[in-house]
Amino acid sequence: MMSRTMRRFKQALSKPECQEILRTEPRGVLSVMGDNGYPYGIPMNFYYDKAENRIYFHCARTGHKLDAIKNCSKVCFTTWDKGFKEGDDWAWHIGSVIVMGQATLVDDPAVIEEKVRQLALKYYPTTEEVEMEIARDIHRVGLIALEIEQMTGKRVKEK
């Protein structure tokens, strides 16, 4: 994948810093090429699997984003951290990550259940609640796998 060089390279985050944001942050925006050539960005919960170099999203089994992915598998995912302030300064320091890659719809029921379980464990307060949700609704859940081709991160001061 040919990519542009980051213009503000001194603000670049390292790969481990990017991975930590992907591991800990709860939401981001998945952008696909939607209907009539318009971009379509969807706020999504996600699970980052570092070992596989993939991000997983649960979803319905039909809909606009799935149709878009079937038409063009190239997607972009963006997330950001909670940021911090220095001393009495009003300005926030924010770290963000942009991922480019190929999205596919997972069709293996065992993989869907495993990855949905990992995703749910990131959000639900107890394992029991995760297992109850999976038992009740796993047959309705779709799963998108985003194979990371490029990952960049940047720390900015909003001032």
Give the pLDDT confidence score for residue 14 in this predicted structure. 94
For 108, residues 6+ apart whose C-beta sits below 8 A from its C-beta are: none
Per-residue pLDDT of the chain (159 residues; tens, 9 = 90+): 557 676 667 788 999 999 999 999 999 999 999 999 999 999 999 999 999 999 999 999 999 999 999 999 999 999 999 999 999 999 999 999 999 999 999 999 999 999 999 999 999 999 999 999 999 999 999 999 999 999 999 998 888
Predicted TM-score (pTM) of this structure: 0.92
Give the pLDDT confidence score for residue 158 in this predicted structure. 85
Q: Give the SS3 label for residue 99.
A: strand
Residue 106 CB neighbours (<10 A)? 18
Domains of the chain (ranges plus CATH)?
A: 9-108+142-157 (2.30.110.10)
